[in-house]
Structures are given as structure tokens and as C-alpha cells.
Amino acid sequence: MRNDEDQEKQVLRNGDFEDEQPEWSEKKFNRMVWRTRVRLLSNAVGALLLFYLLYVLYLSLSQIFFVYPGEE
């Protein structure tokens, strides 16, 4: 019984790894690289835009509440 378990573990261990690497064409690889760059750039621009909008909202609220305290 013990020998069968060892053989099963060995079979699973040998089948887990593939020696062949995927064949990527250079054109497909470059396309993936540029897509990743564009995605990262768009995320950075979106984050900067969000921070800018929050800053503008903060300035607007501070001007409303602190510059004109008695005018209602």
C-alpha cells in the first residue's frame, strides 16, 4: 500500500512541470508589452485626475465655509 502511494506522488510530481516554454512571436510579445504600458499609464492618469478633483473639492469647500462665514 505504501509503495502505491509513493508511485502516485511521483507520477503527480513528474506531470506537474512542463519543460517546453511557450512559443511567443516577437510581434505578439511587443503588443502585450505596449498594452501593459498603456494600461499602467491610464491608471496613473486616472489616479492623478482623482487627486486633482478631490483637491478642487477641498478648496471649494474651504472657500465656502471659511471665507464667507457670516453671509447666509
Domain locations in the chain as residue ranges: 29-72
Place of cell 485626475: 49
Secondary structure of residue 13 in the 3-state scheme: helix
pLDDT computed for residue 50 by the predictor:
98
Q: 3-class secondary structure for 33-62? A: HHHHHHHHHHHHHHHHHHHHHHHHHHHHHH
pLDDT, tens digit (0-9, with 9 covering 90-100), for 18-38: 666 667 788 888 888 889 999
Q: How confident is the model at residue 58, as a pLDDT?
A: 95
